[in-house]
């Protein structure tokens, strides 16, 4: 019988993670490093990125840091050049960088809309385009976009965020179809409400109770729940999976 564990091995792969300085991006980056990948860590916060770099190096992996503003095309172009200069290739792109404002629709300002869409949709598209062009030359690559359960559901205060994440999942399908002939697989990872160090202080007991009430498995998500799913989508184990949004949500979407 074959040992399929090696299909999840990322040794020799290079993974680029945006928004890697904290939260889900940091956790996923270190999870990919734990599976064997070398890293390009990108975000606006260089000091925090260097802390993640040190942690990756403690795992025995190579990690390089590149400051990035995903809303700026010149910055994304510089990221592509950085990637080619330091590694000469890229196998995995995780589009994690995002920004969100939870406000009732009546209270959303134009600046909220612009920053959310520029970061979470424009940034995803052009990072995929720029870094995906390296994958096209290689004839292989994995792109993982961060979506959300709110791509399939709504709650008060999530109108813009839900629309944005629905767009990310739909964009994922469109790119998967268009880029399949180039060997590029494009999928989305969609967590439910996930406890991160930055979110924990903002999650009141009442809010936590409401969120858990919508999750059949009876708890909020953790970054550790997402890491194995990210490894699957990044690894050869998912080579026949593309255009899919993988919900890691404890049954949130299934419950409706």
Question: Is pLDDT larger for residue 195 or for residue 235?
Answer: 235
> Cβ distance 235 to 2 under 8 Å?
no
Could you tell me if 100 and 163 are in contact, meaning their C-beta atoms sit under 8 angstroms apart?
no
Superfamily of domain 10-251: NAD(P)-binding Rossmann-like Domain (3.40.50.720)
| pLDDT for residue 91 is more than 90 | yes
Return mean pLDDT, the chain: 95
Q: What is the pLDDT of residue 195?
A: 80
How sure is the predictor about 96, in pLDDT bands with cuts at 50, 70 and 90?
very high
% pLDDT > 70, the chain: 98
- pLDDT above 80: residue 70: yes
pLDDT surpasses 70 at 202: no
Q: Looking at the chain, list the stretches that DSSP marks H as alpha helix, in order from N- to C-terminal side.
A: 23-34, 46-58, 73-86, 110-117, 123-138, 159-179, 205-213, 223-234, 252-255
d(CA 179, CA 186): 8
| 189 and 144 Cβ atoms separated by less than 8 Å | yes
Does the structure show a pLDDT above 90 at 174?
yes
pTM of the model: 0.96
Question: Residue 69: is its pLDDT beyond 70?
Answer: yes
Identify the residue with better confidence: 70 or 202.
Answer: 70
pLDDT band at 1 (very low <50, low <70, confident <90, very high): low
Element at 138 (helix H, strand E) = helix 123-138
Write the pLDDT tens digit of every residue in 141-158.
999 999 999 999 999 999
Whether 199 shows a pLDDT value over 90: the answer reads: no
pLDDT over threshold 90, residue 201: no
Assess whether pLDDT exceeds 70 at residue 200: no
> Residue 161 catalytic?
yes
Question: If you average pLDDT over residues 19-29, what whole number do you get?
Answer: 97
State the pLDDT at residue 197: 72
The Cα–Cα gap between 211 and 82 comes to 40
Catalytically annotated residue among 4, 99, 150, 161: 161
Distance CA 121, CA 100 (A): 12
pLDDT at 110 (0 to 100): 97
Report whether 27 contacts 58 (CB < 8 A).
Answer: no
- pLDDT at residue 198 in the model: 65
DSSP 122: I
Delimit the domains of the chain by residue range: 10-251
- Lowest mean pLDDT: which of 52-66, 190-204, 233-247? 190-204
pLDDT at 13 over 90: yes
């Amino acid at each position: 019988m074959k040992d399929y564990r090696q299909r999840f091995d990322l040794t020799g792969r290079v993974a680029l993670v945006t928004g890697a300085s904290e939260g889900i991006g940091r956790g996923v980056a270190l999870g990919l490093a734990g599976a064997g990948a070398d890293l390009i860590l990108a975000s606006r916060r260089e000091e925090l990125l260097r802390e993640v770099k040190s942690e990756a190096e403690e795992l025995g992996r190579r990690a390089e840091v590149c400051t990035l503003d995903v809303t700026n095309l010149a910055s994304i172009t510089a990221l592509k050049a950085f990637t080619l200069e330091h590694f000469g290739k890229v196998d995995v792109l995780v589009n994690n960088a995002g920004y969100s404002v939870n406000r009732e629709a009546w209270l959303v300002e134009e600046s909220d809309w612009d920053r959310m869409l520029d970061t979470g949709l424009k940034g995803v598209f052009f990072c995929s385009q720029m870094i995906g062009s390296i994958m096209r030359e290689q004839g292989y690559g994995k792109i993982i976009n961060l979506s959300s359960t709110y791509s399939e559901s709504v709650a008060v205060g999530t109108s813009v965020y839900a629309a944005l994440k629905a767009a990310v999942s739909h964009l994922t399908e469109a790119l998967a179809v268009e880029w399949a002939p180039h060997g590029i697989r494009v999928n989305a990872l969609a967590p439910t409400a996930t406890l991160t160090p930055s979110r924990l202080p903002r999650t009141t007991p009442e809010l936590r109770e409401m969120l858990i009430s919508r999750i059949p498995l009876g708890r909020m998500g953790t970054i550790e729940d997402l890491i194995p799913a990210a490894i699957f989508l990044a690894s050869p184990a998912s080579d026949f999976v593309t255009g899919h949004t993988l919900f890691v949500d404890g049954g949130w979407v299934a419950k409706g």
